[in-house]
Structure 1
Amino acid sequence: MTARIAGQLAIVTGASSGIGEAIARRLGSEGTNLVLWARRGERLACLAEEIADQSGVSVDTGVVDVRDREAVQGEAARLMSELGTPDILVNNAGLAAGMAPVHDADVDDWDRMIDTNVKGLLHVTRAFLPAMVERDSGQVVNIGSITGRQVYPGSTVYAASKYAVQAITEGTNLDLLGTGVRVSGVHPGLVETEFSLVRFKGDEDRAGAVYKGIEPLTGADVADVVSYVLNAPPRINVADVVVFAKAQGSVHHILRDEG
């Protein structure tokens, strides 16, 4: 069966690895033409070539740091002048940095998280949403986190940034009521990607311990959920989805196999 979104144009931020890469691969396999943004140009170029070869879709790339508002606006203007208004925007770019308590945290880590997870998402949304509203159609998917609902020790500012994603998603839906544009939030629990390696600044042992004793979600699992959201009939807005691995009940309840 042909996917409903086949032939549409989707932009995915943070597409060079992890959940973003998995979403790009899944959408490409469904016949969606792609625009992939990330900071790592070499990885992005390799991924784009691979998806184009495997799926036969067109894949445009942009080396964009979503924290840079001028870069976002410039690349968005180029994209829309050449390819038109995207049908789909997946705001995936995001990160966690450190797990120190607030009174002992690195303020630079705070800036990275807030500037990427909150302001970056807003920069990208603001760049494309007016054209979607003018056309009266489009879908936006914001990738949040269960940490945007439940805080755990050491996550204060990261959680605050993801609570903000939740609020932005809900508020944008209200702002768009009566238009043909839909906004959805997808909020995963534990997903094994480079996320923890980035958070712990390359400490592989510490990153690996996060997933020890459980079978976590994969990026492909999250991509499955995003595909479901995007392929729902136009009369449906899947406003909010939380997805856990079977072994996770909340940020505080994880059943680990100690054997």
Structure 2
Amino acid sequence: MDLKEKVAVVTGASTGIGAATVKTLLNIGMKVVGFARRKELIENLVENHKGKLFARCVDVTKSQEILNGFDWVTKNVGPIHVLINNAGISRYASILSGNLEDWKQIMDTNFMSIAIGCKEAIKVMREHKIDGYIININSIHGYYDCLDPNSIMYTSSKYASRVMTENIRLELAEIGSNIRITNLAPGLVKTDIVESGYGKDLSNAVYKNLPFIFAEDVADTIVYLLSAPPRINISEMLVRPIGEIGTKISSNNYLLK
């Protein structure tokens, strides 16, 4: 895919993997629209770049805001070629003692927003005859259960997203579409997701004791996927730090002992 001047939407664009992806796509000349609740953080990501940056205030837990965001992109920037579904959260949420609102926040962010984003992006791509690319940022926890009751909703959301992505690929194949879709699952990445979900102490312990990669590594992987020949659909990819053996996160984690 010739990416220069093509339109990309990145969700969760204000920090972490999303912010790194915005910068990387701008540097290869794309028009990048960042969705996040904190619009000002997107606007302050870069000063000089080869692409064009647009920031939109979108809360991905609110379906109408997602729909409005895609509508704005089509009308003001152009039809979408690339969607990076990156927005995600993690927090304590067991089944027996979890907070219902936390459950809903996790599933709305990590699963429903991806489903809505995929539907809207595919609709626009098909209307404009664009053989686009969708990359859903998942997690290694979409492949194995970390056996931590406190993380059950997070893990479940990642399993669900993985299954959904593959079924979207099958649905696209059945209708003869050349739109590609990938489930990209990083291992432990150095971002603020652990601190925001579990607190600073655990975050410090995790990154002190476990191997990790950087958000820029994931962004570079995204460019690799986008640069693959159009006849190739890399439907799944795991990107892990060397030596990773698991990233169990819980209040009883051995890292805090």
- Return the TM-score normalized by structure 1: 0.89
Q: Which residue of 1 aligns with 2:218?
A: 222
Determine the C-alpha separation between the residues in 2 that align with 1:209 and 1:107: 28
Are 2:103 and 1:110 equivalent residues in the alignment?
yes
Determine the C-alpha separation between the residues in 2 that align with 1:205 and 1:163: 27
RMSD between superposed Cα atoms in Å: 1.8
Q: How does 1:166-181 map to 2 (within 5 A)?
A: 166-177=162-173, 178-181=176-179
- Return the TM-score normalized by structure 2: 0.90
Aligned-pair identity in percent equals 31
TM-aligned CA deviation for residue 64 of structure 1 = 0.1
How many residues are paired up? 245
TM-aligned CA deviation for residue 250 of structure 1 = 4.1
Determine the C-alpha separation between the residues in 1 that align with 2:156 and 2:163: 10
Are 2:136 and 1:138 equivalent residues in the alignment?
no
Q: Which residue of 2 aligns with 1:42?
A: 40
TM-aligned CA deviation for residue 163 of structure 1 = 0.6
Q: Which residue of 1 aligns with 2:192?
A: 194
Q: How does 1:1-259 map to 2 (within 5 A)?
A: 4-47=2-45, 50=46, 53-98=47-92, 101-134=94-127, 135-152=129-146, 153=148, 154-177=150-173, 178-200=176-198, 203-251=199-247
**What's the secondary structure of 1:221's corresponding residue?**
helix
* Structure 2 unaligned blocks of 5 or more: 249-253
* Structure 1 unaligned blocks of 5 or more: none
Task: Determine if contact 1:66/1:123 at 8 Å carries over to the other structure.
Answer: no
Determine the C-alpha separation between the residues in 2 that align with 1:56 and 1:5: 12
Task: Determine if contact 1:66/1:124 at 8 Å carries over to the other structure.
Answer: no
**What's the secondary structure of 1:96's corresponding residue?**
coil
Task: Determine if contact 2:81/2:130 at 8 Å carries over to the other structure.
Answer: no
Task: Determine if contact 1:88/1:138 at 8 Å carries over to the other structure.
Answer: yes
Q: Please identify runs of 4+ aligned residues in structure 1 that moved more than 3 A.
A: 249-252
Task: Determine if contact 1:133/1:180 at 8 Å carries over to the other structure.
Answer: no
